[in-house]
Each structure stands twice: as structure tokens, then as C-alpha cells.
Amino acid sequence: MKKLAGLFAASLVAVAVTGCNDKESKPEAANNAAAPASDKVVNLYTWTEYVPDGLLDEFTKETGIKVNVSSLESNETMYAKVKLQGAGDDGYDVIAPSNYFVSKMAREGMLKELDHSKLPVIAELDPDWLDKPYDKGNKYSLPQLLGAPGIAYNVNTYKGSDFTSWGDLWKPEYAGKVQLLDDAREVFNIALLKLGLDPNTTKPEEIKAAYEELLKLRPNVLSFNSDNPANSFISGEVELGQLWNGSVRIAKKEAPGTIDMVFPKEGPVLWVDTLAIPANAKHPDAAHKLINYLLSEKVAEKLTLEIGYPTSNLKAKAKLPAEITHDPAIYPTAEVLQKSYWQDDVGEAVEIYEKYYQELKAAK
């Protein structure tokens, strides 16, 4: 998943997909007025990397349903767009909120309850990914891909044993060398964990304490980057910093034997990107068909091979090469998962995080 910092992310790019996904378009409405809308079109709003070329070809061929894809660049922008959308054909039918936005949107009545009878793919999903606190019983969402941030490093410069704690990034010898993800919550998570605090805290005094701790880290920070953050490691511009597990997979493919990652002893803060249906979606039947397709074995396997993030589909996982499923930097071990946290919605406290985050980035 590509996250962008701040509450106001870049504008969206709409893409019409009928066998390729590079033609700009708005979600269809008038073209299908004569036929049942649910049988002809579905509007998908998901992360850019999650729809590689050709991924939706078979769905359109099998169902006759045209998929209009809009590029999702942040949960905050997605939330605002869905909040404002009407019930017309130009609204989104399937969205891809991260787990902590599922709970927020469900609580606010923004999501439609899923009809599990129309989603047989559920039987293929890892039960350890289901029925989580953010969506008990998976009433509103199904998990697609798992993200876990860790400490990435150039193996020719550093050893994995050099990094056992998030606190290692504060060491003075790393002055001007550390890349952080450009995301307020991801950055504050490491400081809160270093301080032994809840990474999902909403207490202003604890968030402030994390900010003050991050000011001590600031001299070590070379850059903040969530826009294809693996690229700077691949190019050699950066040799140490935060990365998501999917980004590590990309780095390992592009620069074999150069990049690796470890999860610190405090544990990572996990997120899951899900698939859900807005409450006022115009094409719910087509939406269920698309979700079932996107989570299916064949599609899930292709997507993880393409972008590296662990899939929720167990049948797909069984087909993946060991270089992915047996790599603890990509698929966190059971031990790591046990000490991990789930990133949760922090409500209005997100404004406090954002305020301090912008101050942190501006600090010298």
C-alpha cells in the first residue's frame, strides 16, 4: 500500500478498465442506462499498485461487467470522497480501506453489510485474518493484503544483528542516514513503542512525549518517503530506515542480495488493506462479484507476486514461491505476529498526530 502523509492527499486519477487500465475516464453512468446497472458496471476505488496491468481482464470477460478503477492514494482522501458521494452511478461500489478506517467508516454508517452467501471465497481466506476487533464477524470488510513496517538496511553496509529495537535508529552514528515513511502514524508508532507506550494512544500528553522523542531522532533523518519508498534503497541513495514488507519484496527483486529487513523486538504495527462496499453503492451485486474475484486464489497469487504483500488467500499462499512465503521480512513469523499491534482508528486525536508531524518535518 502506498500511504501519503497528511489529511489532504493528492487528487485521484480515474481509470476505465476493460482489458487494460491506462485510459482515463469517469465511472460510467449514462452508457449503461438501458441495461440493469448492477450487471454492466462496477466502480472500484483501490490503491494504485493493487491493479497491475491485466488483473481485471478475466473478470470482465467472464461477467461482462466493466470495471472503472480510481486510484486511491490515502485513507483520508478515500474517506472524504466516500463521505460526499451520492447514490448515483458515479459513486464507488468497492473500496479498499485499511483496517483502522473500516472501524471508523462502519461506526459512521458509511459501509454496507456484506452478504457472505455471495462471497464463497471466504472459505479460502486465512481464519487468522478474520473476525478481528476492527470488524467482528467481517460484517463490512474482507482482508486482502497485510502490511508490516520494519527496519530495512543495506546488507553490504550493515548487519541485521545491528538492529534489534526501533530505538537503534536514534544512535548518533546514523546521523543523516535514516529514511522514515512519510506517514504520521507510522513515524509516531516507532517513538511510542520506544517509550513503551500504546501506538494507538489518544492521550495528548503521550503523543507530545512521542513528538519530543522524535525531535531527538530528527538529526538522523535523511528523508520522509512513502511514494515508492523501496526505490531509494534500490538506487543506493538510502541504506537504512523504515520500509513496509511489500516494499522490501520489490527491493529484493530489483537489487538482489542488497536489501533486507528485520522486525524490532517491540514488534511492528500491522495494517490490513481490505475490500468493502460503501453504504450507498449503486451496484452491490457487481460489487460482491468483484470482491470475490479480487480475493480469489488465482488473482491473489498474481497480486502478491507483483507487489509482495502477503495475501489472505491460503490457496494462493500455497502456490507462492518459498522466496516470498519463507522470507521473514515479507511474511512475518508467528513470533513476530504475536508481539505485533494492529493500527487502530484514533478518532479526533489524528489531528494532534498530524499537527506534531508537520512540526517534526519542518524541524531542523
Binding residue numbers for spermidine: 49, 100, 183-186, 343
Q: Are 263 and 336 in contact (CB under 8 A)?
A: yes
Give CA–CA dist 317/180, Å, rounded.
Answer: 29
Binding residues: 49, 100, 183-186, 343
Give CA–CA dist 216/53, Å, rounded.
Answer: 43
- In angstroms, the Cα distances linking 152 to 4, 180, 244, 251 are 19, 10, 9, 10
Q: Are 213 and 195 in contact (CB under 8 A)?
A: yes
Bridge partners, 125 (sequence order) = 313
Q: Are 340 and 269 in contact (CB under 8 A)?
A: yes
Write out the three cell numbers for 330: 515479507
Give CA–CA dist 93/112, Å, rounded.
Answer: 10
Q: Is the alpha carbon torsion for 13, 288, 311, 334 positive or negative?
A: positive
Give CA–CA dist 44/92, Å, rounded.
Answer: 6
Give CA–CA dist 63/51, Å, rounded.
Answer: 18
Comparing CA positions, the residue from 298, 285, 300, 180 lying closest to residue 229 is: 180
Contact partners, residue 131, CB within 8 Å, separation at least 6: 137, 138
Write out the three cell numbers for 239: 541504506
Q: Are 216 and 361 in contact (CB under 8 A)?
A: no
Q: Are 349 and 207 in contact (CB under 8 A)?
A: yes
